[in-house]
Each structure stands twice: as structure tokens, then as C-alpha cells.
Structure 1
């Protein structure tokens, strides 16, 4: 084998490696984006309990705000590895799927893994949302449900 840097490399090997590296870089940053953007939207895509407007509307106490912040930090800490795993597995599945004749059993196994990870993420989000609702008074919870539904 030559040490010449101009030697043509095998694109069949390099392309999947570049896809994996790209997916890890892009999706590996997702939890940090969530943490940076944590004040603007809830992780579930609903109105954020900790936004200044929601705090004012619901009349949250300092203790409630502190407890909600703790819940959110714990949620994001639990969610980050699940999301990283999901996006990594999804990239692997997509590479497998792009093959001319993907292995049926391997595709089914990868799909089951993705489905199980989606379920874990969904369970994590549901636990977080239920925990947050228990911090609110019954009146605040009714107002919060109205905000989530988009009704005044």
C-alpha cells in the first residue's frame, strides 16, 4: 500500500463513517440545545411552566418555581442519554435502510430498538409532566390545562 496522500480511498467505507460522525456531532449537541433553550419552551413542545408569562399568569410562588426548576433539571438529565441513544440508533437504522438489499431481520430488530427508545422517552416526559402538575394548586392546575389547550 502506498503512502501517497493522492491515492483514491474506498468511498463505500468512508461515506458511512462520515454519516456516523455527522450524526453523533449533530445529535450529540441536542441535549445542550435543550438546556440552553430551556427557558423558552418545554421539552414536550407545550407552553413552558417556567416562562415569565406562565409564572405571572399562574401566580407561582418562589417555592413552586424552585421545585419546578429541580424537576426540569432532573428531566433533562434523564432525557439526554435517551435522546442520544435514539438519534444514534436512528442514524444506524437509516444507514442500514439505504443499502440496496437491507437485511430484513436486522431492520426489524433496529426498528424495535427505536420503538422501545421512543416509549422510554415518552414515559420520561409523562412522568415529568405529572410531577409538575403535582407542584401546582388545583386552581393553578386548571389554569395550566387551559394554557396547554390554548384556551384563556
Structure 2
């Protein structure tokens, strides 16, 4: 006959063992994720701007690509990965900003944004090109003056 004390003790052992296994698996996964991130050298440099910070964000010398979007906008959501890929390739040439049109109405009104997504390319704080809608990454690359040569 097995005593009740033995059964309770073995359950504690099983729980501790399961916990240790889960901790080891978590450590291994974290280790491999860090290696993958270093290997891919993922740089997320897209900045989210607001009405109050937009002028300061535009003072960046050189090219700045500003994307006006909204969370409810389907084309905006499909354009987001394209913009992220563009940012990974051109982060040393172009600074990318995103503005939520619902939360930042003053900036949207100032630039006359009537449809989403709208992307404006600025050079030294002045708008030089405007793209309406979700476009292919090649269209974004064509807008960059330094890369067309």
C-alpha cells in the first residue's frame, strides 16, 4: 500500500521537475532568439511622431519619409510591412516617421491629408514628393533622389 505522504511528495517532485524543464526551455529559446536577431541585424528605426513632436522630428537634415496612417485602415495595415522593409534597406539614407491620423489631427489638417495611407517625402523639412495609397517598395525607392542616379 502506498502512503498518502509518498503521493503528495511525488507530485511536488513532478511539479518542480516540470518547472525546471520549462525554465530551461525558456532560456534556450531566449538564447536562440537573441542569436537570430543578431544574425538578421534587424533595425527598427521607424519613429512614431505626434502633433507636438512633429516639427522637431522634421528638423532632421536630409530626407524624411512621413507616413500618415490609421489603425482601422486596411491599406495602411498592408503597407506597414512594405514601409518596414524600406526602412531596413534605406535607414542610412532616409528617416521614416509614422503619424496616426486619428490621434494627430493638427498635423493631418496642416498637410491636407484627405486619404490614407498618404506618404510625404521631406528634404530638410520641406515636402518634395507625395504618394497616395499603399504602393510597392519599388515606388518608394524611385522617390529617393540620391538612389536614382
Which category describes the TM-score, using the shorter chain as reference length? under 0.3
Please report the TM-score for the alignment, with normalisation by the length of structure 2: 0.26
Larger Rg: 2
The structure richer in strand per residue is 2
The structure richer in helix per residue is 1
Please report the TM-score for the alignment, with normalisation by the length of structure 1: 0.26
